[in-house]
Structure 1
Amino acid sequence: MALRLLLLLLTATILISQAQGIGNLGMDCCLKYSEKLISVNRLTSYTLQEPESGCLLRAVVFTTKKNKKICASPTDADVQKMMQNLDKRVRKDKKRQPPRYRGRPKRQKQQKV
């Protein structure tokens, strides 16, 4: 009897946790597009939201420097330009190499034994 009760409680707990989305990855989906566009200088990156990811709306999700998410239409010409500008910035940053040391190396002092 106690085993049945324990099994029933365990099953109920699993069903409730799945209904509440505890087993979900916790991904936020864009439900609509933002009306305002933000300056490219305030953006750090973007991701594409596709129906394959479990969201109904196809969107471009921009991330700002303050870590805010902005949803935009992927078919909008301004949005596509912003995506291209971000891609160029990332490529430019990857090409940058650390500065080289210029000048003669300093002579090391010899230690006396």
Structure 2
Amino acid sequence: MALRTFLLLLLLLAAALLITQAQGIGSSASDCCLKHSQKAIPSGVVTSYRLQGPESGCLLDAVVFTTKRNRKICASPTDGTIQKLMQHLDKKAKNDKNKKKGQTQRPRGRAKKQRRQQV
């Protein structure tokens, strides 16, 4: 009798697991792009991007740009202007990283003279 109860509980647990997997609970596919935007994306409003594809659990290959207002824009990764925008963001990120490394060095040039306060 105990074996039957155990097998029944095991079967119920397996069924619950399959149902949650079928509903997509716990998967990262919940924020996938479903289509590409056809509008031009100005480079001044975009701060970063990420790639989306089958390896991330999404059906559509896309580039997901994040704007300054934290909005997401989906674009085609094969579009030439999108590839240029991605290269621009990569260069900008590399330059920002180099600037942060350079801040630890002493400042160049003369320091401003401080005025003495007269008492």
Displacement after TM superposition at 1:86 (Å): 1.0
Matched, 1:22 2:30: no
Deviation string for 1:28-78 (max 9, x for gaps)? Answer: 322211122232111111122233333332221111122221111122222
List runs of 5+ in structure 1 lacking aligned partners: 104-113
Q: Are 2:85 and 1:82 equivalent residues in the alignment? A: yes
Structure 2 residue aligned with 1:3, among 3, 6, 16? Answer: 6
1:11-90 paired onto structure 2 within 5 Å: 11-26=14-29, 28-90=31-93
**Gap change, CA 1:10 and 1:56, over 3 Å in 2:** closer
Q: Once superposed, which parts of structure 1, at least 4 consecutive aligned residues long, lie more than 4 Å away?
A: none
What corresponds to 1:93 in structure 2?
96
Partner AA of 1:25 in structure 2: S
- Whole-angstrom CA distance in 2 between matches of 1:42 and 1:50: 24
Contact 2:28–2:56 at 8 Å: present in 1 too?
no
CA distance in 2, matches of 1:76, 1:4: 54
Q: Is the 8 A contact 2:29 2:58 kept in 1?
A: no
TM-score in terms of structure 2 length: 0.69
- What amino acid sits opposite 2:93 in the alignment? V
Cα distance per residue 1:70-99 (max 9 Å; x no partner): 111122222122112212211211121227
The alignment-based identity, stated in percent, is 60
SS in 1 for 2:77: coil
Q: Which runs of 5+ in 2 are unaligned?
A: 112-119
Question: What residue in structure 2 maps to residue 110 of structure 1?
Answer: none
Deviation at 1:26, TM superposition (A): 4.0
